[in-house]
Amino acid sequence: MTGFPTLFYKEVLRFWKVAFQTVAAPVLTTLLYLLVFAHALAAHVEAFPGVPYREFLIPGLAMMAMLQNAFANSSSSLIQSKITGNIVFILLPPLTSLDLFGAYLGASIVRGLVVGLGVLAATVWMVPVPVSHPAWALAFAVVGCGMLGTLGIVAGIWAEKFDQLAAFQNFLVMPLTFLAGVFYSTQSLPPAWQAVSKLNPFFYAIDGFRYGFFGQSDVDPASSLAFATAAFAVLSWLTLLLLKRGYKLRH
């Protein structure tokens, strides 16, 4: 009866013990993005009417950091356990696939939210950003982190070495994140590219999260939340299926 909370606590403690690397470093990287892009484009770009470009950037950058770190938390934990061989100590206890899924997913969401709060706290003294709809912002933050935390579990299960995990991140997660409207509004794109952007589930998480701050978005927030939640549900079903079958975990 204590398997799930114990594994969840272990996964949270795993990243929190090295918070300088897992929390402070992503916050610093995000601040550098803000400084560079805001300085280069602030005078030339207005993504939303009446919203300065510096303010526009912050929610997108915060969500980008949350997505990437939620993915990194679950994927790195699983691949390290597989390579070092201590995955056996996770599989031997009477933990159900739902216990495993919930613990890895929960810790990924916690890390994502902590990083996001760190970004917002670090930028508030530079560029105060209004929060028009905090409930929407929180909903998209949780669903976005959940979606990427689940994808991280899939990547950690599939990968057999760090090179494969790096390829998964560099060729799938990073492109989808950068092309999800972090640095621009998709309304500025040609119609064909707008259509392509709307196939990217990361876009809905970022666009909806931004709505929570400004009350403006490229897509209706209810539709965005429905699409992001559906992607999260499909990934969760796939992950639970892989865990139940022990795919690449039990040899």
Q: What does the alpha-carbon distance between residue 161 and residue 217 come to, in Å, rounded to a whole number?
A: 39
Contacts 24+ apart (CB under 8 A), 222-227: 224/140, 225/136, 225/139, 225/140, 225/143, 227/201
Angstrom distances, CA of residue 110 to CA of 69, 107, 113, 163, 225: 10, 5, 5, 26, 20
Side chain identity, residue 172: L
Q: Check if the beta carbon of residue 70 is closer than 8 Å to that of residue 112.
A: yes
Q: What does the alpha-carbon distance between residue 134 and residue 140 come to, in Å, rounded to a whole number?
A: 10
pTM of the predicted structure, to 2 decimals: 0.93
pLDDT at 110: 98
Q: What is the pLDDT along the chain (251 residues), one digit of tens a residue?
A: 578 999 999 999 999 999 999 999 999 999 998 888 877 766 666 677 778 888 889 999 999 999 999 999 999 999 999 999 888 888 888 889 999 999 999 999 999 999 999 999 998 888 888 899 999 999 999 999 999 999 999 999 999 999 999 999 999 999 999 889 888 888 888 889 889 999 999 999 999 999 999 999 999 999 999 999 999 999 999 999 999 998 888 76
pLDDT at 37: 80
Pair of tokens at residue 47: 């993504």
Side chain identity, residue 99: D
Question: In the chain, count of helices (H) and strands (E)?
Answer: 12, 0
pLDDT at 41: 66
Q: What does the alpha-carbon distance between residue 46 and residue 52 come to, in Å, rounded to a whole number?
A: 6
Under DSSP, the state recorded for 170 is: I
Q: Check if the beta carbon of residue 29 is closer than 8 Å to that of residue 1.
A: no
Q: What does the alpha-carbon distance between residue 117 and residue 141 come to, in Å, rounded to a whole number?
A: 10
Pair of tokens at residue 33: 């993005």
Neighbours of 176 (CB within 10 A): 17
Q: What does the alpha-carbon distance between residue 98 and residue 112 come to, in Å, rounded to a whole number?
A: 21
Q: Which residues contact 167 (CB under 8 A, 6 or more apart)?
A: none
Helix (H) or strand (E) holding 224: helix 221-245
